[in-house]
Structures are given as C-alpha cells and as structure tokens.
C-alpha cells in the first residue's frame, strides 16, 4: 500500500522559510516522479512543483519559481520542498503526491500558515 506522510508545516512569518518533508513507502520511490500540490483555505487545488521520475528534472509553478526548491533523497525515500521568502498567499495545505503527470496517491497534507 502506498503511503505518503508529510511533515514540516507550521506557522512562519512573512519572509521566512520552511522545509517540508514527505516520507514515502509502498512503492519504488526512485522510479516515480513526485509532485507537491497545495490548497489554500476554502480554495481549489494548485500544482506547485514536480520532479521527474525519469531524469530528475524539476518544474515549478510561476507563483513559486525562484523561491521554492523541490528535491528528493532516494536513499531515504523522502521528498522535500524548501520554501523561502514565504508570503501570506503561500498559506495552504501542502500535499505530497505520487506521480509527475496525474496524481495516483496523495498524502494527508501539512498546513503551512504564513502570518505576522
């Protein structure tokens, strides 16, 4: 069974940083692309960043480009999202997701709140 467990969310001031982690199990992590998707309170889904399973290429939404960095440690089956220069409108639940095209499995999400 695929399991994705996010951690690292919390309250941070504008301009601050957070690093999200996602521990993956139940599948061969090194061979799959992975994605971060977020959902602001009461809003829809927004694709944030992805990392290709084939060549490790990374992609970012325009709204986070230059501020967020996606990476992974295949030895620890863990996906990361380094978030810098956080803004109030980055407040959302951040979901870790298996797949770099459609999302086959989702984590339960971790809440990031950016507020002074």
Q: Give the residue from 21, 73, 79, 90 showing the smallest Cα distance to 50.
A: 79
What are the residues binding another protein (CB under 8 A)?
Answer: 35, 37, 44-47, 50, 59-62, 95, 100-104, 106-109
The b/e string for 86-106 (b: 16+ C-beta within 10 A; e otherwise) is beeebbbbbbbbbebeebebb
Q: How far is the CB of 5 from another protein (least distance, A)?
A: 12
C-beta closer to another protein: residue 27 or 60: 60
Shortest distance, position 113 Cβ to another protein, whole Å: 17
Smallest gap, in angstroms, from Cβ of residue 39 to another protein? 9
Compute the radius of gyration of the chain from its Cα atoms.
13
């Amino acid at each position: 069974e695929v399991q994705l467990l996010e951690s690292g969310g919390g309250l941070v001031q504008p301009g601050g940083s957070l690093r999200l982690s996602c521990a993956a199990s139940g599948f061969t992590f090194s061979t799959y692309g992975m994605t971060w998707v977020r959902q602001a309170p009461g809003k829809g889904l927004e694709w944030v960043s992805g990392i290709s399973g084939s060549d490790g290429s990374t992609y970012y939404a325009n709204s986070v480009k230059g501020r967020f960095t996606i990476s992974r440690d295949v030895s620890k089956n863990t996906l990361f999202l380094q978030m810098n220069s956080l803004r109030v409108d980055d407040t959302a639940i951040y979901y870790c997701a298996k797949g770099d095209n459609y999302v086959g499995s989702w984590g339960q999400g971790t809440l990031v709140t950016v507020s002074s």
